[in-house]
Chain A
Amino acid sequence: MIRRSRFTEAPAAWLLMAPGLVGLMLFLLLPFALAVVLSFTNLRMASPLPLEFVGLANYTLAFQETALPRALLNNLLFALVVVPAQTALGLALAVLLDRPLRGRTVFRTLFFLPVVFPLSLIAVVWVLIFAPGPDGLLNAALGVLSLGLWEPRDFLNDPSWALPAVMLTSIWQGVGFQMIVLLAGLQAIPRQLYEAAAIDGAGRWRQFLHVTLPGLRNPLIFVVIVTTILSFRVFDQVRIMTRGGPQDASNTVIHEMVRTAFDQGHVAMGAAMSVVFFVVILGIALAQRRLLRQRGEVS
């Protein structure tokens, strides 16, 4: 019975999946397969040289002569800072704005606004905020707050400040998303659980630990995975704010890839980088999956 129905359903299922599958093949699998193939060649844009198979040369060169290692490190740093910071901040905002606060709808809207703005626009605005000299917005504000002790600096051109500046922009832009997801999660926690915990003797902090956090487990996992993926895909902010500089201090893998493949026309090298990057991302995704599966799902 089951077998038969499955058999008759199969063609319909394939038919329904077809549009999605075709899209995946055309725009994801095919380009990636091409990238793998191209990464073993010497393809350059507008090059008169004949296409040749060069073996692993692009891979060794990518690590020796491009900013790829530095970009990988930057991405890792970016994720290590932005994911926890943004999640913690999003959680704090969600908890705050879950209370019966005057004007909380206004605050929720304000904190969520950056999420719906184009990243490029936000990057431009933050370039203005980070503007160098004593008249730059942030410099001026820090000057006032420190009673003149702050020495103005050129954040985006300072090797030790460029990456943190990009991180700050990203956190500010993305925290609203976390906040909204976690707020929805908070509202799904039954009020009686807090009351039961209070009667059982838990104070506010322990209620947060034993009711709020476990209740937010699934939304937190979701938010952490999404933010991790996004922080490895960072491109817009870097492109607009620092172009990866100074001295690759804020360069990221995707940015380096685009620069190599399109700015410098070295397509094969870019392809090699994308394959390396794919392996790294796959590793992280598998590790995360494994980690979460070990802890078991809560229904």
Chain B
Amino acid sequence: MADVEFKGVRKAFGDHIVIPGLDLTVQDAELLVLLGPSGCGKSTLLRLLAGLEQPTDGEIRIHGRPVDGLGPRARNIAMVFQNYALYPHLTVRGNLEFPLRMRGMPRAGRERGMLEAARALGLEPLLEKRPAELSGGQRQRVAMGRAIVREPDVFLMDEPLSNLDARLRVQIRAEIGALQRRLAVTTLYVTHDQVEAMTLGDRVAVMRDGVIQQLGRPAELYDRPANLFVAGFLGNPPMNLLEPTFERRDGERMVRLGGTWARPSAGIPERVRYVGIRPEAFSISASGNSGGARQDRLEIQGLVDSVEVLGHERIVYLRVPEPVVELSDGPGPWRSAEGLLAARLTGSPVRKHGESVTLTAPAAGMHWFDEDGNAIPTDVR
């Protein structure tokens, strides 16, 4: 069942168009993550659903009911704010009770609901404390508690973890996921953090300039990015991008990629402008056995520039003789003079700066993109 629907929703502040026209359906009990860089309109979308902003155009439905013109009060949604927005003069108890009080629930029911929420989040020992006396993680839990206390139709979470330190973030992230699954409440979760999006989301919508770039399950987005933006936004270090050049050599159609020639007889179509390779698709070997012109795999030779040791893996940066393409938040991909490729390696010997090595990636590990940055399905090959 569709629980939340955006139909042709447009939002402009004066002349500034934040969302040019958006359709999105969130399924019942689903946790949908809105992921994108700051200013991409993801928070605006949340605020539109909350009723804190009204759309310039289009329709929003909750449970099939159009909510246009309804204030936040009439929508039965709950929201967790980035800075938690706890009422500073109220105790934890007061904060948890507040939504019930505002809905005119009698005292006994309030007490029961408040205790239930407090128990679910382990807040019972803190009930008489004020927000100022709580740690960041505790405040976050109170904000969650205030959201679940009145059993809303939809949860909205606006970067709820961004004010926590890294360790706590991982812990509370897991708690949020578990809580959402247990309560099975439709949830929209806004973040700019790809790890949060990948770990929490049933589905993830990647946004840019108010437009959904791709909507799908996290693995789908990672394995089959719809365009360069999605490809570059997910993954750390980001996907390596190379520009192939096509040429006829000795009567055979050849492609030059990352400084090596390949024979793409059944390989890369000529409309491919960018070839993307995830850092983990590479494997590494000492240079020498140069057989660049293989169909089933790509081999690139270069010099080790630097190595980041992360414990369970190493990121090797390789300097190649050709410029590579870098993605930016700007309008399009940029050519980088650096010519650095990133490879994520596990279990291979440590490489030293300046060492000459060969990176190898299987053909299946390549992503193709056309002139406009849109993905070309690799199953046409």
User: A271 to B338, alpha carbons, bound, how many Å?
Assistant: 87
Chain A residues in 8 Å Cβ range of B83? 190, 192
Interface digits, B141-178 against A, CB 8 Å rule (1 contact, 0 not)? 00000100000000000000000000000000000000
User: A203 to B85, alpha carbons, bound, how many Å?
Assistant: 17
Cβ of B362 under 8 Å from chain A: no
Q: Which residue of B lies closest to A207 (CB)?
A: B102
Chain A residues in 8 Å Cβ range of B85? 190, 192-193, 195-196
Chain B residues in 8 Å Cβ range of A196? 79, 81, 85, 87, 146
Chain B residues in 8 Å Cβ range of A197? 87, 98, 102
Cβ of B72 under 8 Å from chain A: yes
Tell me how far the C-beta of A245 lies from the nearest C-beta in chain B, rounded to whole angstroms. Answer: 47
Decide yes or no: A200 and B98 within 8 Å by CB, A193-B85, A195-B81, A210-B87 being known contacts.
yes
B132 touches A198 (CB 8 A): no
Cβ of B239 under 8 Å from chain A: no
Interface digits, A157-196 against B, CB 8 Å rule (1 contact, 0 not)? 0000000000000000000000000000000001011011
Chain A residues in 8 Å Cβ range of B51? 198-199
A200 touches B52 (CB 8 A): no
- Cβ-neighbour of B132 out of A193, A195, A215, A299 (below 8 A): A299
Count A-side interface residues using an 8 Å CB cutoff: 20
Interface digits, A94-118 against B, CB 8 Å rule (1 contact, 0 not)? 0000000000000000000000000
B50 touches A199 (CB 8 A): yes
B89 touches A199 (CB 8 A): no
User: A211 to B50, alpha carbons, bound, how many Å?
Assistant: 19
- Cβ-neighbour of B88 out of A198, A199, A200, A214 (below 8 A): A214
Decide yes or no: A201 and B73 within 8 Å by CB, A195-B52, A206-B102, A210-B98 being known contacts.
yes
- Cβ-neighbour of A198 out of B71, B90, B146 (below 8 A): B71
A199 touches B72 (CB 8 A): yes
Chain B residues in 8 Å Cβ range of A202? 73, 102
Cβ of B312 under 8 Å from chain A: no
Interface digits, A23-34 against B, CB 8 Å rule (1 contact, 0 not)? 000000000000
User: A298 to B88, alpha carbons, bound, how many Å?
Assistant: 8
- Cβ-neighbour of A211 out of B79, B87, B132 (below 8 A): B87
From 61 to 88 in chain B, residues with beta carbon under 8 angstroms from any chain A beta carbon are 71-73, 77-79, 81, 83, 85, 87-88
B89 touches A200 (CB 8 A): no
Cβ of B16 under 8 Å from chain A: no
Cβ of B99 under 8 Å from chain A: yes
A201 touches B81 (CB 8 A): no
User: A192 to B80, alpha carbons, bound, how many Å?
Assistant: 10
Cβ of A289 under 8 Å from chain B: no
Would you call the interface of chain A mostly helix, strand, loop, or mixed?
Answer: helix
Q: Which residue of B lies closest to A200 (CB)?
A: B99
A201 touches B103 (CB 8 A): yes
A203 touches B89 (CB 8 A): no
Chain B residues in 8 Å Cβ range of A198? 51-52, 71-73
- Cβ-neighbour of A201 out of B79, B90, B102 (below 8 A): B102
Interface centre among A198, A199, A203, A214, by most chain B C-beta atoms within 10 angstroms, is A199
Q: Which residue of B lies closest to A193 (CB)?
A: B85
User: A214 to B98, alpha carbons, bound, how many Å?
Assistant: 14
Chain A residues in 8 Å Cβ range of B103? 201
Chain B residues in 8 Å Cβ range of A190? 83, 85
Q: Which residue of A lies closest to B94 (CB)?
A: A210
Interface digits, B7-24 against A, CB 8 Å rule (1 contact, 0 not)? 000000000000000000
User: A205 to B85, alpha carbons, bound, how many Å?
Assistant: 19
Chain A residues in 8 Å Cβ range of B81? 192, 195-196
Cβ of A233 under 8 Å from chain B: no
- Cβ-neighbour of A214 out of B52, B87, B102, B132 (below 8 A): B87
A214 touches B146 (CB 8 A): no
Chain B residues in 8 Å Cβ range of A203? 73
User: A211 to B88, alpha carbons, bound, how many Å?
Assistant: 9
Tell me how far the C-beta of B345 lies from the nearest C-beta in chain A, rounded to whole angstroms. Answer: 45
Interface digits, A252-295 against B, CB 8 Å rule (1 contact, 0 not)? 00000000000000000000000000000000000000000000
A195 touches B72 (CB 8 A): yes
From 189 to 241 in chain A, residues with beta carbon under 8 angstroms from any chain B beta carbon are 190, 192-193, 195-203, 206, 210-211, 214-215, 217
B87 touches A201 (CB 8 A): no
User: A210 to B99, alpha carbons, bound, how many Å?
Assistant: 12
Tell me how far the C-beta of A196 lies from the nearest C-beta in chain B, rounded to whole angstroms. Answer: 4
Chain B residues in 8 Å Cβ range of A211? 87
User: A210 to B85, alpha carbons, bound, how many Å?
Assistant: 13
Chain A residues in 8 Å Cβ range of B98? 197, 200, 210
Tell me how far the C-beta of A201 lies from the nearest C-beta in chain B, rounded to whole angstroms. Answer: 4
- Cβ-neighbour of A200 out of B102, B130, B132 (below 8 A): B102
User: A196 to B146, alpha carbons, bound, how many Å?
Assistant: 10
Chain A residues in 8 Å Cβ range of B50? 195, 199
Chain B residues in 8 Å Cβ range of A299? 88, 130, 132
User: A206 to B98, alpha carbons, bound, how many Å?
Assistant: 11
User: A215 to B259, alpha carbons, bound, how many Å?
Assistant: 64
26 pairs, A vs B, C-beta closer than 8 Å: A190-B85, A192-B81, A193-B87, A195-B52, A195-B79, A195-B81, A195-B85, A196-B85, A196-B146, A197-B98, A197-B102, A198-B73, A199-B52, A199-B72, A200-B102, A200-B146, A201-B99, A202-B73, A203-B73, A206-B102, A210-B87, A210-B98, A215-B89, A298-B89, A299-B88, A299-B130
Instruction: Sort A-B residue pairs by CB-CB distance and give the 9 closest, nearest first.
Output: A201-B102, A214-B89, A192-B85, A196-B85, A200-B99, A198-B72, A199-B72, A299-B132, A202-B102
Q: Assuming A190-B85, A215-B88, what are 9 further A-B pairs, CB within 8 angstroms?
A: A193-B87, A196-B79, A198-B71, A199-B50, A199-B51, A199-B78, A201-B73, A201-B103, A210-B98
